[in-house]
């Protein structure tokens, strides 16, 4: 079991934005929301190339800040997402992609039955400080 992805201990990466800044990638954060359930399923980043590709292909596309390349979410697994709408915030420094899964879900992790799940499958218990798995 991968403790970071399946464990109960909260170990947030508060250095994430600093790491992205070091890559000198010109990106904005993208919140990805399921059009049917309104559930937030992923936070990623897009640059101009990724946004243009997403709009042209109507497929959720991002910029991988770790690989420094275009990232079509689910391209290797087949778990791609139809892009239905793009929202821009008031300061034009973040986006919301409203998407519909073409198959099932979005996360590279799977639940115990082997099904992909959304990236936000754990909740912080405000009483204990532990993570609770909502889709074990």
Q: What is the pLDDT of residues 115-124, one digit of tens each?
A: 877 788 889 9
In this prediction the pTM is 0.83
Res 125 pLDDT > 90: yes
CATH number for the domain running over 26-109 = 3.10.20.810
Pairing of strands 28-34, 95-101: parallel
Q: List the beta bridge partners of residue 45.
A: 29
Per residue in 36-80, pLDDT (tens digit) is 999 998 899 999 999 999 999 999 999 999 899 999 987 877 778
pLDDT of residue 33: 95
Res 12 pLDDT > 80: no
**What percentage of the chain exceeds 90 in pLDDT?**
52
Give the residue extent of every domain in the chain. Answer: 26-109
CB atoms within 10 A of CB 42: 21
HSE-CB of 43 using CA atoms within 13 angstroms: 6
* 3: Cα separation from own chain's centroid: 20
Ranked by mean pLDDT, the top range of 2-11, 32-41, 43-52, 126-135 is 43-52
Using CA atoms, how far apart are residues 69 and 85, in angstroms rounded to an integer?
Answer: 23
């Amino acid at each position: 079991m991968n403790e970071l992805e399946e464990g109960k201990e909260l170990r947030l990466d508060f250095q994430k934005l600093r790491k992205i800044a070091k890559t000198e990638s010109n990106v904005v954060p993208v919140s990805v929301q399921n059009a049917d359930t309104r559930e937030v399923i992923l936070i990623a980043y897009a640059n101009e190339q990724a946004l243009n590709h997403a709009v042209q292909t109507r497929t959720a596309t991002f910029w991988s800040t770790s690989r420094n390349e275009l990232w079509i979410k689910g391209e290797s697994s087949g778990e791609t997402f139809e892009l239905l709408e793009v929202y821009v915030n008031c300061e034009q420094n973040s986006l919301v992609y409203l998407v519909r899964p073409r198959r099932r879900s979005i996360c590279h992790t799977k639940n115990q039955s082997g099904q992909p799940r959304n990236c936000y499958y754990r909740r912080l218990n405000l009483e204990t400080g532990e993570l609770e798995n909502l889709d074990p």
